[in-house]
Amino acid sequence: MSEAMIGSFKCPKLKEAAANRTCPDSKLAKTYGNTFTLWLGQSPAIVLNGCQAIRNTLMTHSEEMAGRPATPIFERLSRGKGVVFSSGENWKQQRRFSLMILRNLGLGKKSLEGQIAEVAQNLVESFASNKGIALDPEPILAQSVANVTSAVVFGHHFSKDDNGFHQFIEGSNSTARFLGSVWARLFDAFPRLMELLPGPHQTVFRLNDFQSRFVKEEIESHWEKIIPEEPQDFIDFYLTKLVKGSDDATTTFDQDNLIRLAIELFGASIETTTSTLCWALLYMMTQPDIQEKVQKELDAVLDESPVIQYEDRKRLPYTNAVIHEIQRYCNIQGMGIFRQVVKDVSLLGYTIGKVGC
């Protein structure tokens, strides 16, 4: 988004923050350059700073950097299953098949838009029912985002009063917060000791185990009614793959991977999307003039239509720009998940050896 768009926000403090915003990596880069090493205990972490450096590295050397470090916390949560925390053949097979399923289910296509619109309408009605009453929007937003994911993964929605689903959502949110905390670093440094000590990590592990049981119950329900020729959701497609079997002795497809994939799909969507929507509401509250302009454009273009479609963005340039500016400006995640070099690679003039060499 252009600097002109930043200038349209009339709050001096927000504008000043946008202009002067820096991060610790940028400050270190001024001294050590755009490639430097930080020691996290006994483990070296190589930091790449700057959009160009990161983009060139990930686009040019994505294969060499496709691994995940086998840290105690990753192993405790995933047992090497799924996509987010796995590496090697398991990562390749599960990622490729998961992307194929999501494409078949309409990810990025119009077929999924109807389900999103239904959940969005329920969200609007839920907010409307609390008119005039102070409320925390995060739980309502998280429930709505999770139900969109649920339609894809489980093939159905959950009611707002389903305590089990609320606990499942809390598991995703707690894990996301925990991975960026000092407690996760302590667990990586002293895993055996931390397993015995109380703390927020024990809550995360308990919720993670609950999520596994929750997904397993959904899988058992799907087994009872699955029609291999007509898969309806992510679990159906995966179970159909298991039914057909494989002659490949190196296959990684099993129920444990399916459970982990389902948990990761929720984890990847709930925290990030909910946080973005919360920031959007906050910015609209603090910038009523922007809110008014967005509302006027919506009223003029949509002609009081109760449903907005993705194609409408072409007729809503101001609203579209505001959404993109919110996504650019808001702070969603402090850092991503570490990658591990699986082949020797040359990055920005430095040679980084494969882990273990």
> What does the pLDDT read at residue 340?
82
| Contact status, residue 154 vs residue 308, Cβ threshold 8 Å | no
Rounded Cα distance, 258 and 270, in Å: 19
Q: Which residues of 305-329 are buried (b: 16+ CB within 10 A; e: fewer)?
A: eeebeeeeeeebeebebbeebbeeb
Q: Please tell me the predicted confidence (pLDDT) of residue 14.
A: 38
The predicted model scores a pTM of: 0.81
Measure Cα distances from 129 to 33, 113, 324 in Å: 54, 24, 28
Report how far residue 186's alpha carbon sits from residue 334's, in angstroms, rounded to the nearest whole number.
18
DSSP for 82-144, written as a single string: SSTT--HHHHHHHHHHHHHHHHHTTTTSGGGHHHHHHHHHHHHHHHHHTTTS---HHHHHHHH
Q: What is the pLDDT of residue 319?
A: 94
Q: Tell me, what's the pLDDT at 335?
A: 64
d(CA 342, CA 160): 44
Residue 114: predicted pLDDT: 82
- Say if CB 268 and CB 84 are below 8 A apart: yes
What integer pLDDT is reported at residue 204 of this predicted model? 95
CB 156 within 8 A of CB 222: no
What digits encode the pLDDT tens for the residues 112-170?
788 888 898 889 888 888 877 888 999 999 999 999 999 999 999 998 889 999 999 99
Along the chain (357 residues), what's the average pLDDT of each consecutive run of 10 residues?
A: 30 41 64 81 78 78 79 90 87 91 77 83 88 87 94 91 94 89 90 94 96 96 87 92 79 93 93 91 93 93 80 92 91 74 79 69
Task: For residue range 199-241, list pLDDT tens digits in order.
Answer: 999 999 999 999 999 999 999 999 988 887 888 899 999 999 9
